Chain A
Amino acid sequence: MVVKVFGPVHAACPQRVLACLLEKDVDFEIVHVNLDQGEHKQPDFLVRQPFGQVPAIEDGDFRLFESRAIIRYYAAKYAERGPNLLGKTLEERALVDQWLEVEAHNFNDLVYTMVLQLVVLPRMGQPGDLALVHSCEQKLEKVLDIYEQRLSNSKYLAGESFTLADLTHLPGTRYLMNEAKMGHLITERKHINAWWEDISSRPAWKKLMNLACF
């Protein structure tokens, strides 16, 4: 039985889930959702994800939404398979959760806003708010300074092994560096740059990049 992942392969939140499934070697099928045509706001989709967002998953009778909940579920379900993405002890697990929350509350909003203003709105023919981008960039610099400090003391965010805490940053950071052309934020920081080089060259992430034709 394959896990069905509903959402476009190029969107950041579905990619968070797909990266996890690929790391854990879990078979999946991507069911495309056309965001441009508003498919995610149609009644059929709202049954799956009542907030009208991607991704959602369907695994037999089991359904789930929210990418960070989905990756926690599969990382736990297949804990014994492939890399340990959750940490081995209670304390390691807590650090993974801590940095997952940091990504969700201190990193994601800033990156999302910058990508929206620099990439998505212009694609739709609307001008982006450059003052807002600049303000986000300044805040993100401060956040990344803290990440730099952390990564100068440990190889990965939650410790010495790659975990969900690092994985969760992959999709947004890639958009930030590529389409939004804000790569300097990453490359100017020695330890963050090394961390990014490391996590973005993982085979599972490379497979996903192929799937997404990036």
Chain B
Amino acid sequence: MATPVKVYGPPLSTAVSRVLACLLEKDVDFQLISINLAKGEHKKADFIKIQPFGQVPAFQDENISLFESRAICRYVCEKYKEKGNKGLYGTNPLAKASIDQWLEAEGQSFNPPSSALVFQLAFAPRMKLKQDEGLIKQSEAKLAKVLDVYEKRLGETQFLAGDEFSLADLSHLPNTQYLVNATDRGELFTSRENVGRWWGEISSRESWKKVVEMQKST
């Protein structure tokens, strides 16, 4: 039996939970090594050795030490092609291209405004930091435009990259989970018929439910 892979970071981190969701979809055993962000463990020398930008997550297996959640997910999908959800990163070049396209859309267009909203609305209050109202308004407007594009797309296909659940959809789970369940802006998603339908489907996957459990038990 293979040694479990190692993931460094707290499960509450959106980027860390992206990797956990992927590992669970692919049925890959992992060991989660928690990093206490509040105590600045991610900026300490030991961690900087494996993630020089001082960000979570980091990942290690017997062959590689890696960072950047979307790169880790791609690696896990390629290395464990035959395990778990085999189609997660596509089973042919055209399917993979479509998944990469929507993974990039997530990283470039969805992530910036949704991350800003997650931090401002879900984390800043907990950390007793002052909220930036201007940034919140700006981010909400940007995210609404992105979700209008998604609404149209998800009226044409069941999932973002096509008619199968893929890494592209998975990549959206962490931020959306917070927005829908930990802020009052969930209706950005639920008021859009196709986006709401899509969110319901992807968030009820067993793998994501397990991640949410892990987050709750922290």
Contact = CB atoms under 8 A, between A and B. Distances in A.
Interface residues of A, number: 31
Interface stretch (B64-72, B174-182, B183-191, B200-208): B64-72
B130 interface: no
Contact of B71 (A73, A77, A98, A146): A98
Interface string B37-69: 000000000000000110000000001101110
Interface string B79-100: 1000000000000011011101
B12 interface: no
B93 A50 contact: no
A150 B52 CA distance: 9
B52 A97 contact: no
Contacts of A100: 71
Contacts, number: 80
A25 B78 CA distance: 27
B101 A64 contact: yes
Interface residues of B, number: 32
Interface in A28-83: 50-51, 62, 64-69, 72-73, 76-77
Interface of B is mostly: helix
Given A94-B66, A100-B71, A105-B68, A69 B103 contact: yes
A90 B146 contact: no
A104 B108 CA distance: 8
B104 interface: yes
Contact of A143 (B53, B63, B70, B93): B53
Nearest to A93: B78
A146 B53 CA distance: 7
Contacts of B104: 66-69, 104
Contacts of B68: 97-98, 101-102, 105
Interface of B: 52-53, 63-64, 66-68, 70-72, 74-75, 78-79, 93-94, 96-98, 100-101, 103-105, 107-109, 112, 146, 149, 152-153
